[in-house]
Amino acid sequence: MALDLTVKVHPVVLFQIVDAYERRNSDSQRVIGTLLGTVEKGVVEVTNCFCVPHKEYDDQVEAELSYAMDLYDLNHRVNAQENIVGWWATGKEVTTHSSVIHEYYARECNNPVHLTVDTTLVNTTRMGIKAYVCVQLGVPNGKQGCMFTPTKVQITCYDPEIVGLQLCQKTQLPPMPGLLPKTVGGVEPMMDLAQIAEASTKLLAMLEQVLVYVDDVLAGNQPPDNQVGRALLDMVNSVPKMSSDQFDEMFNSNVKDLLMAVALSQLIKTQLQLNEKLTLLTTL
């Protein structure tokens, strides 16, 4: 495997790893599992994973391999594109048993990757995430060995996952009047119009930040960035050419559709509640 390999991990994988660590047995020092995803052009994209029960002793490792294969077959039926790409383990370093576990996954897929997630959070508030590839060492017709070499790891996500992460991030912040619902350890559902207002506020803040950057570049207070300039050009070109009257008409039409959908949903909700109460009265 090339050492310039890039491992992209989706947030759902990290959530599953943390959940497996929280549900571990009291006598388990760490948790391991299988990574599922795709491999294409030197990029390993990890989109799913599951835990594999195991026990580690001083001189050996016992893992329920039949359970792992059954669970992989079930996952493969749901999503045939997800294949075994490696394995994961909790902890901040590679242990002496890692090479034994890696040998098993080397038989299940070509060039598996090893992902470690430090769930202990000792002297830090961020989980340490590292990825390794195994490089074979030794001389011909002599003693052979392997070495875990670090490789690049990135956190990536789809657009729906970004929305979920932004909602989860709100629970980390203290309640702020006018911005977040006054709840402790959670976020209350928001109405559609409230979500539009919040998104518009964020959009205005980002536009102001872009305008400040452009003004600083034009004034010579900040060096220009070609990548940022191309991104801004693509953003401007993506805006359809229309007059302000056409934009207002289109926006008002969408708002009317939204209000109609909200009214219908509230009407259906009221009918369901009324039907539930009538059903309860008839049963008494």
Question: Which range has the top average pLDDT, 168-177, 182-191, 227-236?
Answer: 227-236
Question: Which range has the top average pLDDT, 30-39, 92-101, 191-200?
Answer: 30-39
Residue 17 pLDDT level (bands cut at 50, 70, 90): very high
The structure's pTM equals: 0.66
- Given a cut of 80, whether residue 182 has pLDDT beyond it is no
- pLDDT for the residue numbered 199: 82
- Given a cut of 90, whether residue 173 has pLDDT beyond it is no
CA-to-CA dists, residue 58 to 70, 166, 182, 218, angstroms = 28, 43, 51, 65
Q: Which residues of 238-247 are buried (b: 16+ CB within 10 A; e: fewer)?
A: eeeeeeeeee
Tens digits of residue pLDDT in 224-248 = 889 988 988 898 888 888 888 888 8
- pLDDT for the residue numbered 7: 92
Domain spans in the chain, listed from the N-terminal domain onward: 6-157
Q: What CATH number has the domain spanning 6-157?
A: 3.40.140.10
Instruction: Give the mean pLDDT of 240-261.
Output: 84
Tens digits of residue pLDDT in 121-172 = 777 778 889 999 888 776 676 666 778 888 999 988 888 888 777 777 776 6
**CA–CA gap between residue 259 and residue 279 (Å, rounded):** 30
Which of 37-46, 141-150, 200-209 bottoms out in mean pLDDT, i.e. has the lowest?
141-150
What lies within 8 Å, CB to CB, of 132 at 6+ separation is: 94, 113, 114, 115, 116, 148, 149, 150, 151
